[in-house]
Structure 1
Amino acid sequence: MTIKILIADDDSLIRESLKIILGMDEEIEIVDAVDNGLKALEVCISFEVDVALLDVRMPVLNGVDAAKEILKKTKTKPLILTTFDEDEYIMGAIKNGAKGYILKNNSPEKIKDAIKMVYSGNTVLQDVVMEKVKDGLSSSREGNFNKDMFSEREMDIIEAISEGLSNKGIAGKLYISEGTVKNYITSILNKTGLEHRTQIAIYYIKGNR
């Protein structure tokens, strides 16, 4: 297994450091390293990229908007690399469907693990980022979790999503097809008015604290 990744960061030191450190992993192949979101999008369109590691604050096109366009136009999975002071970007990334949200102060090993988890179909949301996201979810719809809204099977799906399982992982755990999982997720999104599976996890975890 070789994971083809793109690095996008306007800080040349971080960009080159990630390129060197991540490139030492035998399971990772660096397709390119660029300095803005538009270039990241262009690379993902032109080449086969499994995971795009995106900084949020970049010129021309920021990481959040780049993630949205990458998801819309390619099969690449965006993984946001963020810092503590960017709550509004994190919220935007969730809305746009990014597959992971990790902090730059993580060790190289944790960043590698996050890349591999996203590649495998899981969602990665670091604890401290989760706390910031929950603090930002102020609407009553997202703040109050009502189990009575959902069937027993829907609750099983919600709990599995909150554990970070992919649709395939949920299907395996519950002995149902991936198509059935997708149907349940659609039903849950319709009932809650949420837009993405990551929001379901946050909605559930926040409401059960």
Structure 2
Amino acid sequence: MKISVLIADDNSFIREGMRIILNTFEEFEVLATVGDGREAVDYCKEHEVDVALLDVRMPNMNGVEATRLLVEETKTKPLILTTFDDDEYILDAIRYGAKGYLLKNNDPERICDAIKSVYHGHNVLQNVILDKLKSSLGESRIPPAPPINAALFTERELDVMSRIAKGLSNKEISKELFISEGTVANYITSILNKTALEHRTQIAIYYLTGRTR
């Protein structure tokens, strides 16, 4: 069964090039290419689309607003394709439920792997994007006393959250806290359950800003 994909980008060269590339992989079926977020949302409401590749800056409706509507009104999983010029949109896109945030200059195999990962329920965020996110918030925004409801969490959960916000992997967290990776994963699951968040990037944003949306 092929993964059905929609491509939304106001640059016809990019969207048609992406369509040609994806169609060379037998795992994908590009159902449509559109030029703005509104067209993307309308199409996904009328058709069963597994993953929508969304540019950020588009006329009529940008990729961030399209992400919000796709998550609220369809079963399509949004994957943002971006450039470094779109830094200010990262936070909102993730808060609205984007399943991935990927740079356009990746090679085709990397983008295809990201689509498959998102389709299978995983979240994709390049380290370089996470670094940009941390930079835009400022390292000083990682406070000793976070602006969150600390009483909701155990001391160890707060330790894990602070290290997620610093960009550490589960393996790195386990080494710092002298606990197993499985225990780290259990703490993350507990944090997600308490906050109704979906993945570790949202945990980082919550810890840094005190907001889940």
- The TM-score, its normalising length taken from structure 1, stands at 0.76
Gap regions ≥5 residues in structure 2: 171-180, 209-213
Amino acid at match of 1:57: R
Distance change >3 Å, CA 196–CA 77, structure 1 → 2: same
- Give, in whole Å, the separation in 2 of the partners of 1:134 and 1:122: 21
Is the Cα contact below 8 Å between 2:102 and 2:125 reproduced in 1? yes
Is the Cα contact below 8 Å between 2:91 and 2:205 reproduced in 1? no
Distance change >3 Å, CA 145–CA 38, structure 1 → 2: farther
Q: CA deviation at 1:144?
A: 3.3
Percent sequence identity over matched residues? 48
Aligned twin of 2:192: 185
Q: CA deviation at 1:156?
A: 7.7
1:89-145 CA-partner distances (Å, limit 9, x unpaired): 1121112110000011100111001101111111111111111111122497x6137
- Give, in whole Å, the separation in 1 of the partners of 2:205 and 2:62: 24
1:138-158 CA-partner distances (Å, limit 9, x unpaired): 497x61377994366897899
Please give the residue correspondences for 1:16-35 in structure 2 after superposition, counting only pairs within 5 Å. Answer: 16-35=16-35
Distance change >3 Å, CA 102–CA 130, structure 1 → 2: same
Please give the residue correspondences for 1:1-40 in structure 2 after superposition, counting only pairs within 5 Å. Answer: 1-40=1-40
- The TM-score, its normalising length taken from structure 2, stands at 0.74
Aligned twin of 1:199: 202
- Give, in whole Å, the separation in 2 of the partners of 1:17 and 1:121: 26
- Alignment size in residue pairs: 187
1:8-65 CA-partner distances (Å, limit 9, x unpaired): 0000000100000011111001111000000000111100111000000001000000
CA-based RMSD of the aligned residues comes to 3.3
- Give, in whole Å, the separation in 2 of the partners of 1:201 and 1:124: 14
- Give, in whole Å, the separation in 2 of the partners of 1:145 and 1:114: 34
